[in-house]
Amino acid sequence: MTTIFYTGSSLDGFIADPQHDLSWLVPRDIDGSKDMGFETFEPRVGATILGASTWQWLLDHGETGALGGAPSWVLTHRDFDQVDAVTFTAADGLDEVRSIHAAATRASGEKDVWLVGGGALVAQFIEAGLVDELWVQFAPVTLGAGAPLLPARVELRLEEVVRNGDFVCTRYTVL
């Protein structure tokens, strides 16, 4: 079991624009069935953890199916309608982050835990020592501002780089 932050990013290091929009990312050319594409990643996922803004974007765009029906935890202080296989909870400290991660790990069985986003949420899991890998697909666009990929200092080792359509896809181990 591995805990992975799998995400797309602009070249200047943003995972969403200032309005939390991903429309700059979605129409890009990538083959999901090849070279670190989502279809090659998704079968590994046994549980997901994501933030409220990411969940809201998935709801707004009818994309909650991207979570593959895996048990999911949305870290939030907002009120959302209940959804099967989704737990809404707050994580106001590292002990709660560790508890949520432990629950996701148990639920994932032999599969991986996917940290969907955002970067500030992932930084909490890194601070708690719970993230093993980052898979980042860099799109050929700069945004100038927005939600940063990872607003923390993290030492990484590059493991893999491939080109997939318009994207440079990278995989790093967290040191």
pLDDT tens column, 155-164: 999 999 999 9
Max distance between CA atoms of the chain, in angstroms, equals 41
- Cα angle for residues 71, 42, 140 (degrees, 5° grid): 125
Domain boundaries, the chain: 16-90+118-174
CATH: 2.60.40.10, 3.90.470.20, 3.40.190.10, 3.40.430.10. Which one for 16-90+118-174? 3.40.430.10
Q: Is 171 left (phi over 0), alpha (psi -120 to 50) or beta?
A: beta
Tell me: the pLDDT tens digits for 124-144? 999 999 999 999 999 999 999
Phi, psi of 169 (to 5 degrees): -105, 130
CA gyration radius, the chain: 15
Least Cα distance to 72 among 39, 116, 30, 110 occurs for: 116
Mean pLDDT of 11-15: 97
Query: Does residue 9 have a pLDDT over 90?
Result: yes
Position 117 confidence tier, pLDDT thresholds 50, 70, 90: confident
- Would you say the pTM of this structure is higher than 0.85? yes
Give the pLDDT of residue 113.
Answer: 98
